[in-house]
Amino acid sequence: MTDLGITAGENYNDYVGPAEEYDFMGASQFRLLCTLGLRSKHKLLDFGCGSLRAGRLFLTYLDEGCYYGVDPNRWLIEDAIKFQVGQDLLRIKKPFFSYNDQFSLAEFETHFDFILAQSILTHTGIDLVRLCLQNFARYLKPDGLILATFLEGDYDTEGDSWEYPMCVTFRPSTIRQLAQDVGLVGISIPWFRPRQTWYVFAKDQDRLPTEAMFPYLHGAVLFDSMLGSSKK
Ligand SMILES: C[S@@+](CC[C@H](N)C(=O)[O-])C[C@H]1O[C@@H](n2cnc3c(N)ncnc32)[C@H](O)[C@@H]1O
């Protein structure tokens, strides 16, 4: 396990990460998926959606019934609705939420164009990563994309526990192998993410971004000294 010095606060905007990053971390996920072709008609699963850091932006953008969120900490979603989203947007966009903690997607009875798992597989032992990727693959459309962050390291974190706010590491070769085991192909992309690395998974190699596309997948933020390292 790795201690990145991040604590889990008690409020909706600091339980999921540093409060001063709440805006940026949501915007970054939204920008990444839009860069990868997310359109309003697409069905998006925001797995471990937390306090709708990204969800509040996707909800505004996507068509009615296209946003699906899973998070067992129901209070995070409820506070995000209270303080960020509002009942009017829920009434208009009719999102689906599940509060199950079993890493199950069965209750939605649908397949997704995009599956997002931001800072989730950085807290799960290898058995849970396997389970997640298996379920993601099962409910991903044939041409869909999975976006997930990992903390790359020199060793793999064994077991099936959820570690929070501590992080777990996996070797890049293990991440690719876990994906392959469930019929996915995956690569890391250069999209800026403090501390973690973004991976893209698909059912077909041809669906993955090529290295020639990497300059478009940078995620740099200009004119903000806090995010200066994003321009490297
Ligand atoms: C670091 S936060 C990331 C939240 C969100 N993805 C974001 O970027 O703002 C980790 C989230 O995982 C959620 N979580 C914990 N156990 C989970 C489970 N079994 N299934 C799905 N999400 C879970 C937590 O409640 C928390 O909201």
Centroid of ligand 1 to alpha carbon of 50 (angstroms): 5
Give me the pLDDT at residue 111, please: 98
Query: With 90 as the cut, is the pLDDT of residue 88 above it?
Result: yes
Task: Report the number of distinct structural domains present in the chain.
Answer: 1
Whether 14 is covered by a domain: the verdict is no
Q: 70-87, pLDDT tens digit by residue?
A: 999 999 999 999 999 999
| Pairing relationship of beta strands 197-202 and 44-47 according to DSSP bridges | unpaired
Whether 122 is covered by a domain: the verdict is yes
Whether 42 is covered by a domain: the verdict is yes
Whether 189 is covered by a domain: the verdict is yes
Give me the pLDDT at residue 228, please: 86
108's tokens: 């939605």
Q: How many angstroms separate the CA atoms of 26 and 5, rounded? A: 21
Centroid of ligand 1 to alpha carbon of 211 (angstroms): 30
Q: 102-113, pLDDT tens digit by residue?
A: 999 999 999 999
Give me the pLDDT at residue 9, please: 78
Q: 19-46, pLDDT tens digit by residue?
A: 999 999 999 999 999 999 999 999 999 9
Burial of 45: CB neighbours in 10 Å, binned 0-12, 13-18, 19+? buried
Give me the pLDDT at residue 11, please: 95
Centroid of ligand 1 to alpha carbon of 219 (angstroms): 22
Residue 94: which region, alpha, beta or left (left: phi > 0; alpha: psi -120 to 50)? left
For residue 145, the cross-strand partners are: 114
Residue 113: which region, alpha, beta or left (left: phi > 0; alpha: psi -120 to 50)? alpha
Whether 4 is covered by a domain: the verdict is no
Q: 123-178, pLDDT tens digit by residue?
A: 999 999 999 999 999 999 999 999 999 999 999 999 999 999 999 999 999 999 99
Q: How many angstroms separate the CA atoms of 52 and 71, rounded? A: 10
For residue 124, what is the domain's CATH number? 3.40.50.150
Element (H, E) at 203: none
Whether 13 is covered by a domain: the verdict is no
Q: Say if CB 211 and CB 155 are below 8 A apart.
A: no
Residue 171: which region, alpha, beta or left (left: phi > 0; alpha: psi -120 to 50)? beta
Q: Ligand 1 atom closest to Cα of 50?
A: 27
Cβ neighbors of 81 (< 8 A, separation 6 or more) are 52, 87, 90
Domain of residue 75 covers 19-231
Pocket lining: 120 vs ligand 1, CB cutoff 6 Å: yes
15's tokens: 């339980």
Q: Ligand 1 atom closest to Cα of 46?
A: 6
The DSSP secondary-structure symbol of 57 reads H
Pocket lining: 149 vs ligand 1, CB cutoff 6 Å: no
Burial of 140: CB neighbours in 10 Å, binned 0-12, 13-18, 19+? buried
Give the total residue count for the chain: 232
Pinpoint the alpha helices (H) of 94-228. 126-138, 172-181
Q: 187-232, pLDDT tens digit by residue?
A: 999 999 988 999 999 999 999 999 999 999 999 999 998 898 898 7
